[in-house]
A = this chain, B = another copy of it.
C-alpha cells in the first residue's frame, strides 16, 4: 500500500487533477514497484492566504511562488 498526499495552491482544473493523479501513480509504480491499485492519491487545495514561506503569506508576496 502507498499513499501520496499532495498539497498545492488552489485553482487547478478537473482535467489537470485527473492528469496529475495518473502521472503520480505511474511515477510511483515505475520507480519503486507496485501495482496502480495499491496507490492512493489525495489532493488538498491550499489558498495562498494559508501558506507562508519566510514568514510571509504567499498572498502577500509581490511574486507568488
A residues in contact (CB < 8 Å) with B: 1-9, 12, 14, 16-28, 30-33, 36-46, 49-58, 60, 65
Q: Are B58 and A22 in contact (CB under 8 A)?
A: no
As for how many copies of this chain the complex holds, the number is 6
Give the contacting residue for A2; candidates B8, B28, B33; CB below 8 A.
B8
Give the contacting residue for A37; candidates B31, B43, B54; CB below 8 A.
B54
| Interface hub of A25, A32, A57 (most chain B Cβ within 10 A) | A32
A9–chain B nearest beta-carbon distance, Å: 7
Q: How far is the CA of A61 from the CA of B23 in the complex (A)?
A: 17
Q: How far is the CA of A12 from the CA of B50 in the complex (A)?
A: 11
Given contacts A40-B1, A42-B46, contact A57 B23 (CB under 8 A): no
